[in-house]
Amino acid sequence: MDKFRIEGGRPLEGRVTIGGAKNAALPAMAAALLTAKRVVLRNIPRVRDIITMRSLLDEMGADSSLKGEKQGNRLALQARKIPDPTAPYELVKQMRASVLVLGPLVARFGHARVSLPGGCAIGARPINLHLKGLERLGAKVSIEHGYVEARADRLKGDVFHFDTITVTGTENLMMAAALADGVTVLENAALEPEIEDLAALLNKMGADITGAGTPTIRIRGVSRLEGAEHNIIPDRIETGTFLAAAAITGGHLILDCVEPRHLTAVVAKLAEAGVETRAAAARNTGGPEALEAKMSSPGRAADVTTQEYPGFPTDMQAQYMALATQAHGSSVITETIFENRYLHALELARMGADITVDGRRAVVRGPTRLSGANVQASDLRASASLVLAALAADGESVIDRVYHIDRGYERIEDKLKRVGARIERISEV
């Protein structure tokens, strides 16, 4: 298992290029199952979860080819036939987003078999609403031997109201409804930019979707979908993580290839905490935008509550907590999306942070001097928060289980090294 060794205390200075959004790329890849034609996706991040999704599609019988940075990180997918529409436990347990194949498979092939994901480090994370929604569209759903079995001759459009806002649930049903008979209306849908990006891809494939990015999405089903080419949006969480890295090290970073409109809540909270963020000249004229971040004053405590988009993202909570350890005063963090997303707090405390967790609320008292320590990553964003803390700490830290960070950050150590961090990967075979 790989580890990171980090020598803290160096301000980060320079430019970092942000990759495509993992959480937009995963549903876009699943969408390729909706057509026999070729779907070409650009700006695919080279992260572990994308490799897992590709293995899943390959195993089911799809063809895929991935080209590197020079070709725009281009992934071509073609699912002519899917002999076995099964997402096996071995892959689903590695990545819950595998469940995104459920809607497309039932809609196009009339049958899907997807392992139930089971427990997760950050909360229970059931998929009951994905299943309820598919039933509403006429699928027969049963659970057998740990697998969801869903069958339907042809799905039929209907109105479905989500009791809880769910990102992948909205994506799954949007994809299923794209090939259903008639009109589907999804109410209380998730508003995340990744939903809009998926709808844009599906519409390029010939779907008829309006309202993505609002709480009510209307999908008029079509009988078949075609191939398409699509650029994945920039990763707003990777962007936020590097904004926090600039701030926590007292450095100054310019982030290229970002979409500042997707980071309004994060930028506003960082401003409250004393981090100055502003638009910068993009390196490639005409390309995506750039954002610049630096600490404008000593860090100030600021309370934060995670919310669905456009609120402050739960996927930035752990990184914000690391930053709050350096702020003057007490920051109250309230996690409303997942019930168990504070495992990083205990590890941060091992580095000297003063954090009290009580249920969904955490109080971080700062500033505290962080000192390097051996710590363990528990999930993707928790590991990002430990990297941030280690960058700000005195002395050396060793972060174990960095496979978690590889799931969603592309060679983060290389990007950090280029802007002055002392970080190395220790590979153990």
CB 94 to ligand EPU: min, Å: 13
Binding mask 293-322 for ligand EPU (x = CB under 6 A): ---------------------xx-------
Looking at 36, 76, 120, 183, which residue is catalytic? 120
Q: Does 253 bind ligand EPU (CB under 6 A)?
A: no
Output 164 or 296, the one with its CB closest to ligand EPU.
164
What is the side-by-side strand order in the sheet with 289-295? 13-17, 252-258, 289-295, 275-280
Q: Does 290 bind ligand EPU (CB under 6 A)?
A: no
CB 352 to ligand EPU: min, Å: 25
Q: Does 128 bind ligand EPU (CB under 6 A)?
A: yes
Cis before 193? omega within 30: no
Give the separation between CA 2 and CA 429, rounded to whole angstroms.
8
Output 315 or 370, the one with its CB closest to ligand EPU.
315
Q: Does 167 bind ligand EPU (CB under 6 A)?
A: yes
List helix spans (H) across 64-141: 89-92, 102-109, 128-136
* Among residues 17, 86, 115, 168, the one that binds ligand EPU under rule CB under 6 A: 168
State the CB neighbour count (10 A cutoff) for residue 353: 25
User: Is 257 considered catalytic here?
Assistant: no
Give the separation between CA 380 and CA 407, rounded to whole angstroms.
7
Q: Between residue 379 and residue 418, which ones bind ligand EPU under the rule CB under 6 A?
A: 380-381, 408
Output 124 or 426, the one with its CB closest to ligand EPU.
124
Give the separation between CA 349 and CA 356, rounded to whole angstroms.
9
CB 329 to ligand EPU: min, Å: 27
Residue 205 CA from chain centroid, whole number = 23
Output 165 or 295, the one with its CB closest to ligand EPU.
165
Output 172 or 368, the one with its CB closest to ligand EPU.
172
226: exposed, middle or buried (C-beta count within 10 Å: 0-12, 13-18, 19+)? middle
Cis before 367? omega within 30: yes
Which residues does 312 contact at the CB level (< 8 Å), separation at least 6? 265, 266, 269, 304, 305, 306, 320
User: What residues line the site for ligand EPU (CB under 6 A)?
Assistant: 23, 26, 96-97, 123-130, 164, 166-169, 314-315, 337-338, 380-381, 408
Catalytic residue list: 120
